[in-house]
Amino acid sequence: MTHTLRGDEVLIPADNHIVLYEVGASAVLSGVAMRFLKKSSGIIDTGELQNLYRTYDIHHPRTGLICIENAHTQGTAIQVSNSKSVYEFADSKGVPVHLDGARIFNAAVALGTEAKNIAANADSVMFCFSKGLCAPVGSVLAGKREFIRQARKNRKLMGGGMRQVGYLAAACLVALEKMTTRLVDDHKNAKYLASCLQDTDIFEIDKKRLDINMVFAKFKNDKITVKNFNEDRFISFLLDNKIKINPMHDAEYRFVTHYYISRRNIDYFVEAITNYFNKEVF
């Protein structure tokens, strides 16, 4: 809303969070249309950007914004060189870039760099305190002073003013000062979980999407197809063992490690899963 005018077009990969999980808010609140780049787990093809960018034509909407995401919802950290080429392209056209950096600190750890080096290739960045950084609540938007001044006014307009937010911000300080330095443990644990699951011979792990604290697991065995697998029973078996999981999405599970998940927890989880599949008859 702060970057764009009503009727603008926003260039964004079709599998980004803003497209999939934000209720179409950009259309309702900001009056913008999205124009999709192909799904690519966050990696941007600048040639495609060039093709989708609208040059001036009285019939066309204006390209008002480019949105990128790092780390990506699909578990990938995008190389800074890729973001840099997007930013250079955008700059050459005078189009701003917004970075959905919900997990920017995970991306920084995975890329062996600092969050500021990722953020440097965007005009604004949003990130979450409430995910890997472990705060109970909170996300922030960062950008240049004048941009933030306008964004705060838009936030107020949308009912986002919160007088008591200082109490919550205290938890965010812990997130920034303490939690950013330990994300490497979550990433190691995710890789450990991935290898344990792979070893069960029940799951196939997508190793291309194992950059951060997420593990994407599909069933390996042809016998365990979505058709004859009773997921409700599987989920309630795990729940009986004090493990809560989400159902599959697109035929795969997404498991996430964080501050409260230890290696011991992972061993316990993998053992419970193994027990289930040893007992079940397919």
Ligand X SMILES: *Cc1c(COP(=O)(O)O)cnc(C)c1O
Query: DSSP 3-state helix, strand, coil percentages of the chain (rounded to 5)?
Result: 45, 15, 40
Smallest separation (angstroms) from ligand X to the CB of 232 = 27
By CB under 6 A, residue 82 contacts ligand X? no
Nearer to ligand X, 26 or 73 (CB): 73
Nearer to ligand X, 100 or 123 (CB): 100
How would DSSP label each residue in 95-148? --EEEE-TTHHHHHHHHTS-HHHHHTTSSEEEEESSSTT--SS-EEEEE-HHHH
By CB under 6 A, residue 69 contacts ligand X? yes
* Contacts by 271-277, CB closer than 8 A, 24 or more apart: 272/237, 272/238, 272/241, 272/243, 273/197, 273/200, 273/202, 273/238, 274/200, 274/202, 276/234, 276/237, 276/238, 277/200, 277/202, 277/224
Smallest separation (angstroms) from ligand X to the CB of 8 = 20
By CB under 6 A, residue 74 contacts ligand X? no
**DSSP β-bridge partners for residue 12:** 36
Nearer to ligand X, 20 or 251 (CB): 20
Question: Of 150-179, which residues contact ligand X (CB under 6 A)?
Answer: none
Smallest separation (angstroms) from ligand X to the CB of 249 = 14
Contact characters 3-42, ligand X, x per CB under 6 A: --------------x-------------------------
Choice from 73, 106, 124, 213 touching ligand X (CB under 6 A): 73
**C-alpha span between 209 and 259 (Å, rounded):** 20
**C-alpha span between 94 and 145 (Å, rounded):** 19
Question: Of 93-152, which residues contact ligand X (CB under 6 A)?
Answer: 100, 102, 128, 139
Nearer to ligand X, 17 or 263 (CB): 17
Residues forming contacts to ligand X in the complex (CB under 6 A) are: 17, 69, 73, 100, 102, 128, 139
